[in-house]
Amino acid sequence: MNLDLTWRLLKGGGRKGLLGTWLTLGAVAVSMALLLFAVAANYAFEARADRSAWRNPVATTGVQEKGVQEKGVQEKGKAVAIEASRHDFVRDKDITVVDLGALGAEAPAPPPGLARFPAPGEVWLSPALKELAEQLPADQLAARFPGTKGVLGEEALLYPGELIAVVGRKPDAPELTAQRSDDWIIAKPPVKVASLAGEPTEDAEAYQVLALIAGVLMIVPLLVFGGAAARLTVARRDQRLATLRLVGATPGQVVGMTVAEAMIVALAGAVTGTLAYALAAPLLAGIQIGGGPWFVSDLWPSPLVLGGLLVAVPLLVGLSAVVGLRRVVVSPLGVAKRETPPAMRFVRVVVLLAVLAAVPLLSRGNAVGPIAVVIGLAFLCVNLVGPWVVGIIGRVTARRANRPARLLAGRRLVDDPRSAWRTVSGVAMTGFVAGFLCLLSPGVFNSTGVTGQLQIAVPADQTAAVAEQARTRLKEAGITATVKPVKKVVAVALGTSADAATVDRARTALAGLVPGHTPTTDADDEHFGVQILADVRAGTVVVLSVSFLVAIASAGITAASSILDRRQTYGLLRLAGTPLEVLDKARRAETLIPLTVMGGGAILVGAFCAAPFMIGAVNSTGVITLLLCVGLGFAGVIGAGALSRPLLNSVTADPAPRPD
């Protein structure tokens, strides 16, 4: 392999060859940046799961159930501490309160982020909670956490700005012995633990699975797009290479040179993409999921993974180049004739249906691996069917076209449905989910909520006593309220006009009234449901945005490369008086028609499927977000196509166009 010759080939490719090189570089850079994002998102959720594991205690085996110390229990199974947690609320934010008590005389190793195990009576707050406690009047928040001792380190936080309080208690304190309410979301019962390492919560694992699905949704179109971009360099060069082959270069040399060239360009693109991602990471860290934003460091995959991607991406591009080159190498007369492409077979649809039918069978277990494989397979199948559908859309467009631009667009779609599918695939695949979620409203939850009322779950035999205590405490705090025991609940009505400050004062006054139980409003009880819905929606918007970015990049590249491929014909058409606007309109329609039919169709079908679940009003923020996202996406796609207009002008400006 002759690197020197490769370098000269790269440099000497002429203006148009160079443009192809730049396009490849840009495409690989975009792919790399988005790929990093898709991969890093998974690591980010894993990092969160690990950091918050200490709050999800693992009970020591055999000890806790009956309190009988069995013989032969290993040292590591020995309980050293007791841990319980619950959620409290301030304004519309939730606070995680973790109660810890050491069991032995010796203080156990503290959880991450704490300098030492908290002694009874000591409170450690997260930085954000400390700040908030100082901001608000003490009777609204600070009074709930007397004895604040220190500040938690970042290692203890799920996300920057999370509100957490760690409270040290005696192991026999009521908070660490009393039964908790049966609402497992709001509170976790006391558990004896051998260490404070804990394990990732089920929630965290669910988020990881969702992130994986989102990752697959983003990566499949990215790979398709990246591979196509790689073939772009080759396409630019196959004439030159065919010439080389004719003057006697061996197939090995030709392949070697081209692949080396593609990989050099791809490596440059991958590095550029990494830099771009580094610049974007602080912005991406602001995306709110799971209640808050991210540490920027969460959004970086490990150096090993990063290095792996930097190696794998150029290799994949090289591989794509080899595939693209096969034609040139097999036949030295490389300039292929364009023929009617073989009709894509209906078999593809059958394969898709078969795989979809198999999904429920395969996904019985809830292990992450098989689920990812199945989802990946399903998407690959959608990818097989996609071009087929684009071909049909093209045929219909061409048949019904009455204007030249439409006709050209339709014929182009029939001619090369894969390139159009590349552009729209991500939007088509995400569209359904996006449409579905935009209509689902958090109103599903809070339609029946009562405002200005706090409730505390209380053991049934204590309701009257607790109600009496509540009255006294509220009176001392100067809060007017009606306190009523109802079955297993004590309800504190503050009046529907009570403002957030009054509710927080009442919460603070009632703090610790029933050990381990938090007074909550109806809105608090729905807090996590609303949050999950918001998270899924945020995730969808992210995936949809990435899909649109792929569509935009792909539309730009497809437009530019189709101009380069047809520069001679376009030039001659222009000489013959064809207005460039017609060619331009055709290129725009070529992307917009499948994007509208498939992307728009998927979104509408999704929205249609969500309609039965809609209760009350349409969720306007959801609809607006979606419309904004779709509007920007379409504008971007049109803009990307428009960017190549100067290219069209310049390649057709030469009055004597020749194949170069």
Partner 1 sequence: MNDVLVGRALAKRFGQTVALDGVDLAVRAGEAVAIMGPSGSGKSTLLHCLAGIMKPDSGEVHLLGQRIDNMRERGRSALRRTRFGFVFQFGQLLPELPAEENVALPLMLGDVPRAQAVRQARDWFGPLGLHGMETRRPGELSGGQAQRVAIARALVTKPAVVFADEPTGALDQTTGEETMRLLVEATKHNGACLIVVTHDPNVAGWCDRTVEVRDGHLLAGGVRA
Catalog residues that contact partner 1 under the rule CB under 8 A.
Answer: 337-340, 401-404, 407-408, 411-412, 414-416, 566, 568-569, 572-579, 582, 655-656, 659
Q: Which C-beta is closer to partner 1: that of 373 or that of 575?
A: 575
Measured CA to CA, the distance from residue 159 to residue 57 in angstroms comes to 19
Q: Which C-beta is closer to partner 1: that of 206 or that of 336?
A: 336
As measured in angstroms, the least distance from the Cβ of 334 to partner 1 is: 14
Residues 6 or more apart in contact with residue 413 via CB below 8 angstroms = 390, 391, 393, 394, 395, 397, 398, 420, 590, 593, 594
Residue 646: other Cβ atoms inside 10 A: 9
Burial of 469 (0-12, 13-18, 19+ CB in 10 A): middle
Measured CA to CA, the distance from residue 65 to residue 62 in angstroms comes to 6
Residues 6 or more apart in contact with residue 64 via CB below 8 angstroms = 79, 191, 192
Q: Which C-beta is closer to partner 1: that of 303 or that of 659?
A: 659
Find residue 27's DSSP bridge partners.
none
Q: Which C-beta is closer to partner 1: that of 517 or that of 588?
A: 588
Measured CA to CA, the distance from residue 240 to residue 448 in angstroms comes to 71
As measured in angstroms, the least distance from the Cβ of 267 to partner 1 is: 34
As measured in angstroms, the least distance from the Cβ of 618 to partner 1 is: 42
Residues 6 or more apart in contact with residue 271 via CB below 8 angstroms = 310
As measured in angstroms, the least distance from the Cβ of 14 to partner 1 is: 18
Q: Which C-beta is closer to partner 1: that of 218 or that of 242?
A: 242
Measured torsion, CA atoms of residues 506, 510, 516, 522, in degrees rounded to the nearest 10: -30
Q: Which C-beta is closer to partner 1: that of 74 or that of 402?
A: 402
Structure tokens at 196: 């404070």
Query: Using an 8 Å Cβ cutoff, are 165 and 93 in contact?
Result: no
Q: Which C-beta is closer to partner 1: that of 68 or that of 576?
A: 576
As measured in angstroms, the least distance from the Cβ of 556 to partner 1 is: 20
Q: Looking at 244-287, which runs of residues are DSSP E strands?
A: none
As measured in angstroms, the least distance from the Cβ of 415 to partner 1 is: 4
Q: Which C-beta is closer to partner 1: that of 265 or that of 586?
A: 586
Buried b (16+ CB within 10 A) or exposed e, 81-104: bbbbbbbbbbeebbbbbbbbbbee
As measured in angstroms, the least distance from the Cβ of 335 to partner 1 is: 11
As measured in angstroms, the least distance from the Cβ of 558 to partner 1 is: 14
Q: Which C-beta is closer to partner 1: that of 576 or that of 617?
A: 576
Residues 6 or more apart in contact with residue 331 via CB below 8 angstroms = none
- Residue 59: closest CA among 198, 196, 191, 202: 191
Which sign, positive or negative, has the C-alpha torsion 636, 638, 644, 645?
negative
Q: Which C-beta is closer to partner 1: that of 4 or that of 339?
A: 339
Measured CA to CA, the distance from residue 546 to residue 605 in angstroms comes to 21
As measured in angstroms, the least distance from the Cβ of 582 to partner 1 is: 7
Q: Which C-beta is closer to partner 1: that of 617 or that of 656?
A: 656
- Residue 632: closest CA among 551, 513, 517: 551
Query: Using an 8 Å Cβ cutoff, are 113 and 156 in contact?
Result: yes
Query: Using an 8 Å Cβ cutoff, are 526 and 448 in contact?
Result: no
As measured in angstroms, the least distance from the Cβ of 416 to partner 1 is: 8
Q: Which C-beta is closer to partner 1: that of 335 or that of 362?
A: 335
Q: Which C-beta is closer to partner 1: that of 66 or that of 337?
A: 337
Structure tokens at 474: 């509220």
Structure tokens at 598: 């498939």
As measured in angstroms, the least distance from the Cβ of 409 to partner 1 is: 10
Residues 6 or more apart in contact with residue 290 via CB below 8 angstroms = 48, 158, 159, 207, 531, 535
Q: Which C-beta is closer to partner 1: that of 195 or that of 578?
A: 578
Q: Which residue has the tokens 């494989």?
A: 373
* Rg over CA atoms, the chain: 31
Q: Tell me, letter by letter, the H, E, C secondary structure of 161-208.
A: CCCEEEEECCCCCHHHCCCCCCCCCCEEEEEEECCCCCCCCHHHHHHH
As measured in angstroms, the least distance from the Cβ of 607 to partner 1 is: 35
As measured in angstroms, the least distance from the Cβ of 552 to partner 1 is: 24
As measured in angstroms, the least distance from the Cβ of 400 to partner 1 is: 9
Structure tokens at 251: 């197939």
As measured in angstroms, the least distance from the Cβ of 419 to partner 1 is: 12
Q: Which C-beta is closer to partner 1: that of 162 or that of 416?
A: 416
